[in-house]
Amino acid sequence: MSRLARPRHNRVIAGVCAGIAERFGLSAWTVRIIFLASCLLPGPQFLIYLALWLVLPQEP
Number of C-beta neighbours around residue 21 at 10 A: 20
Nearest alpha carbon to residue 29 among 37, 17, 38, 19: 17
Cα dihedral sign for 10, 16, 19, 23?
negative
Cα dihedral sign for 1, 45, 38, 58?
negative
**Model pLDDT for residues 3-56, shown as the tens digit of each residue:** 888 988 888 889 999 999 999 999 999 999 999 999 999 999 999 999 999 999
Task: Give pTM, 2 decimals.
Answer: 0.84
- What is the SS3 assignment for 30? helix
